[in-house]
Amino acid sequence: MNVNGGEEDSRHGGSAVTLQTTDQLIARCIAPVKNEFLRPPPDRTSSQNDDVSIPKDKAPVLAKEKKSKRQLKRERRQDQKSTKNLCPEISKSGDVNSCRYQDKCRFSHDIEAFKEQKPADLEGECPFLKSEGSCPYGLSCRFLGTHEEGKPLSSNGLERRSEVNGFSKDVQKLLWKNKMTFPKADAKLKSLGLLSKSKGNALENKDGGDKCVQSDDIGSCAVTSELENKDGVDKCHQSDDDDSFGVIVDSDSKLECSVEVLKDDDGVNRELESDVLCPLKRRKTAEDCAGEETKTEGVSVAGQNVDGSCIRSEPEAGTEAITPETDISLKSHLREKKLIDFRDKLYLAPLTTVGNLPFRRVCKVLGADVTCGEMAMCTNLLQGQASEWALLRRHSSEDLFGVQICGAYPDSVARTVELIEKECSVDFIDINMGCPIDIVVNKGAGSALLTKPMRMKSVVEVASGTVDIPITIKVRTAYFEGKNRIDSVIADFSSWGASAVTIHGRSRQQRYSKLPDWDYVYQCTKKAPKNLQVVGNGDVFSFEDWNNHKTECPELATCMIARGALIKPWIFTEIKEQRHWDISSGERLNIFKDFVHFGLQHWGSDTKGVETTRRFLLEWLSYTCRYIPVGLMEVVPQRINWRPPSYYGRDDLETLMASDSAADWVRLSEMLLGKVPDGFAFAPKHKSNAYDRAENG
């Protein structure tokens, strides 16, 4: 048995490293690195947490003073007017008179002053010249020296054709003014009986229609104005925000759910469902519902739905009970529904913060087949937040691409998927029902839906019935260990309308601690109907892990790769080539160079774009430092839950890449993006070094 660890005194914590066998190290989840590469751990007397990194010759940055939004906006305006922010129009053309706002422009028009304080150009070529022929950033580009003289700095109206799913300003204004119509979503919600009046807001118009404002938040106020509805149609506005007020729009708004005639692809007119399909009748109040049991889908519920609302109201005396029927014309036939096949495809998981478009492009180059955008919140998308819509952007190289959304209620999810289908080009929409983050769960979304199976059913049904794009869902095994386990509803997912389900082999309570329960994933896969594709997820870190899961459960469609791709994105190449790639430090640096190139194309080649690229590169480096080269390991392959000991690489660059110090990550970024600006500080957003702690999630 090989002995690992040595007898040298680490002088870290005051105790010497004792002799340990490879098996003992593995039992302690410490990666067994060969003796000749081991070194004593670095002495960090200043602080155990090395998150904040600044240049050594600079003083530490203290905690930032909290400022109001108004003050931040004022400072931002002043900063824009400074000479370091040149007007984009002037920057593109090089002509001071090209800006139509002139003196009223909020940016600087002083070209000479801008050039004097502009940071030095970076090494390399402008990332836009080869792909697009001209640079859209002009004088602001940090590669200005590589621009050819005598040619225009940029083309007017130049669009980045390699990226799609841009956010239209017209759509954003409609969302801001709450004038965007969702006819398909509202019709489907009505057909399922999910558009009902909120408590205490029963305003009846002269034609018998209900005017209501619904709020998804417990304890929030729903405020309406007594507006006359001349069409006899429900006008509803729903919100997912905390402490928000739903304000009804005026009678001229186009938000009303009226009958609209649309044309199918074959040119045949069809009508959307109107109030006729969902007859108006007296809704029962909360007092009427109390104590009364209503059976829904074979489950007895005491007068209320899972979210506290009445499930069904009784008809008035002398009237016949009419059950709302689903409009068959709105439901796509199985043969008309778009299909997506995940079987045996390498699926890159949606990864918050680090799973951005440049990173996905890197994974595509290294062999990924399916990519998915970062999780976007439905409420933010419906509010028209540009930063949230940026998560839906797609590169032309992503041939099989989906977006992941997260919402707590059927109405917000339905309207979001309709909006995405209309405005974006995607192959599937994934609904997140497994996110363990507190801020998401506390709003009733993510893993919180695992405790409400009827809410899950409503969300999936209304989403799949609203759009023709395949709907997939991502879940965990349960919320708490042993409670509301997902195997009890796995057989129903396809009948609800889901095309595929991804099961992460951990509960919400576990977060990312302990090993995933793949035996339970196999059990759920075998219970699933044949028309439902099941994707496994959890700690796939080598081609052997991939092969073992596919061998143990042939019914498994594929495996989703998440943190394994963050630590070593070449895992896709390893799986396709069925080998352990002993990648060199130079090859790893080339991958980082590709990321930087893609990042500058995505975020921009000006100073702001360079620093944005640097931030996301540093976030990624906080994961890649956990990789241990194959040639240094006593046992292959490395497991994702093994902590790497302090070791020397086979060259200085490999040693630098193995460091878990944020200061060394900054040094790596400076090799690719030049020196950091004065006062620069970085703290990883995710606690990526917490292998077994609950906070890592």
Active site residues per annotation: 435
**Cα torsion angle, 93, 97, 99, 105, sign:** positive
SS3 letters for 543-585? HHHHHHHHHHCCCCCEEEECHHHHHCCCHHHHHHHCCCCCCCH
Q: Give alpha helix (H) positions in 261-370.
A: 286-289, 357-365
Q: Kind and range of the H or E element at 472?
A: strand 471-476
Looking at the DSSP bridge assignments, the partners of residue 475 are 433, 503
Strands 471-476 and 498-504, bridge-based pairing: parallel
Q: Which long-range contacts (CB under 8 A, 24 or more apart) does 284-291 make?
A: 284/310, 284/313, 284/314, 285/199, 286/199, 286/310, 288/313, 288/314
| Two structure tokens written together for 142 | 């940090």
The rounded distance, in Å, linking the Cα atoms of 349 and 198 is 38
Neighbour-count burial of 300, counting CB atoms closer than 10 A to its CB (0-12 exposed, 13-18 middle, 19+ buried):
exposed
Give one DSSP letter per residue of 391-428, joined into a string: GG-EETT-SSEEEEEE-SSHHHHHHHHHHHHHH---SE
The rounded distance, in Å, linking the Cα atoms of 401 and 399 is 6
The rounded distance, in Å, linking the Cα atoms of 344 and 544 is 15
| Two structure tokens written together for 496 | 């609800």
3 state DSSP class of 602:
helix
Q: Kind and range of the H or E element at 270?
A: strand 269-271
SS3 letters for 478-521? CCCCCCCCHHHCHHHHHHHCEEEEEEECCCCCCCCCCCCCHHHH
The rounded distance, in Å, linking the Cα atoms of 271 and 525 is 39
Looking at the DSSP bridge assignments, the partners of residue 429 are 403, 471
Q: Give alpha helix (H) positions in 134-271.
A: 169-176, 183-191
Looking at the DSSP bridge assignments, the partners of residue 502 are 474, 535
Of the candidates 356, 416, 423, 421, the one whose C-alpha atom is nearest the C-alpha of residue 391 is 356
3 state DSSP class of 658:
coil
Chain centroid, CA 232 distance in Å: 40
Chain centroid, CA 359 distance in Å: 13
Looking at the DSSP bridge assignments, the partners of residue 222 are 246
Among left, alpha and beta (phi > 0; psi -120 to 50; other), residue 174 is alpha
The rounded distance, in Å, linking the Cα atoms of 60 and 53 is 9
| Two structure tokens written together for 542 | 């080598």
Q: Which residue has the tokens 């360079």?
A: 610
The rounded distance, in Å, linking the Cα atoms of 316 and 461 is 29
